[in-house]
Amino acid sequence: MKRILVTGGAGFVGSHLCDRLIQDGHAVICLDNLFTGSRTNIEHLLAHPNFSFIERDVQLPFFAQVDWIFNLACPASPVHYQEDPVETVRTSVLGMINMLELAKSTGARVLQASTSEVYGDPLCHPQDETYWGNVNPISRRACYDEGKRCAETLCFDYHREYGVDVKIIRIFNTYGPRMAKDDGRVVSNFILQALRGEDLTVYGDGSYTRSFQFIDDLIEGMMRMMEADGFTGPVNIGNPHEFTIGELATLVVEMTGSTSKIVHLPPVEHDPKQRKADIALAKEKLSWEPRIPLREGLLKTIVYFRKIL
């Protein structure tokens, strides 16, 4: 049994990670300020003897004797991270510093949940970990993109200067049950619009691409990365099967049996035109690749959203 801290543990990804850690027999401290996380996501864990929840902001220094730290605390959808961009940067940077200081003082291993957004609107395709990115540092998205890039910098500086045991994963588009209804991400948007009989809104001509990863595959990749000795990353964790936004919209309408129409709106400024994970490094170092195809994962996600509507 390990004693493990999960910041952002009441969020979409964090709550699934807490489930996995408890299932594997670990003791989990879930720390979340509930800005985008929800008690509902962890309600089933609250009575478990190995689980504890602390409502607290990661921007505040925190101490607990732990073996592992998963740092997931940060709004991850444009709707939420642009709501208060200064707080988004503070969460990424101050939160990372606080978790690295905790790891430094306790000898814990710390995993930073970074993002494919560090690649910005990429000039190479697909994106591998050697690509430095194409990010506009003064755009509305920069609070998230640059905050995550700075967090990666901090990880490597603490690793080089103080010997902190760090791990960095770059997460590509992930979906599944417990996504927030108001997070503005394309999968949840389309499913909710289809279930409500509303028009599916596609920004641009539908030719932009994404690679969609089901939550269970991400959690498996996170666990393998945390357990891997002698490998800091960064490493891409995503599904390399690329789909256009137009294809996704058509598939959601079909799978929900909806009569919704697909309508096109002007493209969002600085929205990446292509996103596809190169996972050769994850295959080599972690023996990991996603297992759940899009149609199977969408079915599970549609079932979830039907229940909560």
Catalytic residue list: 144
d(CA 112, CA 59): 15
Looking at the chain, the whole-number percentage of residues with pLDDT higher than 70 is 100
Q: Using alpha carbons, select from 219, 74, 92 the residue that is nearest to residue 151.
A: 92
User: How large a percentage of the chain has pLDDT more than 90?
Assistant: 90
What digits encode the pLDDT tens for the residues 21-65?
999 999 999 999 999 999 999 999 999 999 999 999 999 999 999
CATH number, domain with residue 91: 3.40.50.720
pLDDT at 130 over 70: yes
> To 10 degrees, what angle do helices 294-308 and 186-195 make?
60
The predicted structure's pLDDT at residue 267: 85
Residue 84, classed as helix, strand or coil, is coil
- Residue 74's pLDDT band (boundaries 50, 70, 90)? very high
Instruction: Identify whether 207 is part of a domain.
Output: no
Average pLDDT, the chain: 95
Q: Per residue in 250-286, pLDDT tens?
A: 999 999 999 999 999 998 776 777 788 999 999 999 9
Domain region containing 28: 3-175+213-240+276-291
Q: Residue 97 above 80 pLDDT?
A: yes
Identify which of 77-91, 92-106, 198-212, 264-278 has the greatest average pLDDT.
92-106
Determine, yes or no, domain membership for 300: no
Q: Is residue 161 part of a domain?
A: yes
pLDDT of residue 301: 98
Q: What is the mean pLDDT of residues 115-121?
A: 93
What are the two backbone dihedrals, phi and then psi, of residue 82, each rounded to the nearest 5 degrees? -90, -10
pLDDT score of 217: 98
Number of domains in the chain: 1
Taking residues 117-123, report their average pLDDT: 91
3 versus 211: which is more confidently predicted?
3
pLDDT recorded at residue 176: 98
Look at residue 270 in the predicted model and tell me its pLDDT. Answer: 66
For residues 233 and 75, the model is more confident at: 233
Q: Is 63 domain-assigned?
A: yes
Has residue 261 been placed in a domain?
Answer: no
In angstroms, the Cα distances linking 46 to 28, 41, 53 are 11, 10, 7
Could you tell me if residue 135 is inside a domain? yes
- Is position 227 within any domain? yes
- Say which DSSP state 267 is in: P
pLDDT at residue number 142: 95
Residue 82 inside a domain? The answer is yes
At 44 the pLDDT is 98
